[in-house]
Structure 1
Amino acid sequence: MVLNQPNKRLKGQAYEAMAEQFLCRHGLLPCTRNFQCRSGEIDLIMRDKTCWVFIEVKFRKNNHYGSAAEAVNWRKQQRLKRAALFWLQKNGHAIEHTEFRFDVVSIEGAQPPKIEWFTNTLVEG
């Protein structure tokens, strides 16, 4: 299975690029792709006017085992949140004074893939 890793990474990058193009067509501006830190990874970081948007991109060929969006479970959301807070701090943004949100882009199927964009997916309280 190790031999499939480069293909898997390349496929992931292709779907992230597809999601980024989709979001750019909807007015978001790209900032960073594949930010990694000890806490986790963020597929895309973009701007929506004054708001930083941290985006998880998920692809599923089919939904036999659940949709792509459903794959972003609580644990993944927590890793995304920790990584985003680290990124904000690292880049000099005070969390209390910075507008940000968490979105999910779900890509399913093959020809053509169905793209869904879920905004503000991590709401606590």
Structure 2
Amino acid sequence: MTAREGNEHRPPATTTRKQQGDHAEGVAARYLASRGVTIIDRNVFSRGGEIDLIGRDGQTLVFFEVRYRKQGGLTDGAGSIGWRKQQRVLRAASWYLHRHGLWNHDCRIDVIAIAPGDTHKYKIHWIRNAIQA
């Protein structure tokens, strides 16, 4: 799914990876909000890993892994999530569910892949149920 993000500005080339990641997460949060997702938490850390965004899509709790890739990269954002990263996201999501007593709640893990666009500021690909236990 490709989308245009309002008047967003691309992060300057001199920013750190952390700043670029924070910027991409902001773009993803606004994109998701425009599609009816309510963002309830950001950058949730646990011993197992980090969850970039947590939101509600209807009645479903969704954990989002956000990936930004510059133009000309060797892999796209979604393709950059290896087995180890998937395991860290699964552990972090399990920790969150346990900590908040949500074991019986419907949930899934999605990926938001962001790249510079040709005619729009960004190309955004939302992959639902991208990581499964």
Map of 1:106 onto structure 2: 113
**Alpha-carbon distance between aligned partners in 1 of 2:124 and 2:33, rounded to the nearest angstrom:** 14
State the AA in 2 paired with 1:98.
Answer: H
Displacement of 1:65 in angstroms is 1.1
**1:21-58: CA deviations, max 9, x gaps?**
00011110011100001100000000111111000000
Map of 2:10 onto structure 1: none
Give the match's secondary structure for 1:27: coil
Alignment of 1:23 with 2:37, yes or no, is no
Map of 1:3 onto structure 2: none
State the AA in 2 paired with 1:82.
Answer: R
**TM-score normalised per structure 1:** 0.87
| CA RMSD in angstroms, aligned pairs only | 1.9
For residues 50-89 of structure 1, what are the structure 2 equivalents within 5 Å? 50-89=59-98
Regions of 4+ moved over 3 Å? none
Query: How many matched pairs?
Result: 119
Map of 1:116 onto structure 2: 125
Q: Which has the higher helix share?
A: 1
**TM-score normalised per structure 2:** 0.82
Map of 1:45 onto structure 2: 54
Alignment of 1:7 with 2:1, yes or no, is no
**Alpha-carbon distance between aligned partners in 2 of 1:79 and 1:88, rounded to the nearest angstrom:** 14
Query: Which of 1 and 2 has higher RCO (CA within 8 Å, sep 6+)?
Result: 2
Displacement of 1:8 in angstroms is 2.0
Q: Which runs of 5+ in 1 are unaligned?
A: 1-5
Displacement of 1:64 in angstroms is 3.3
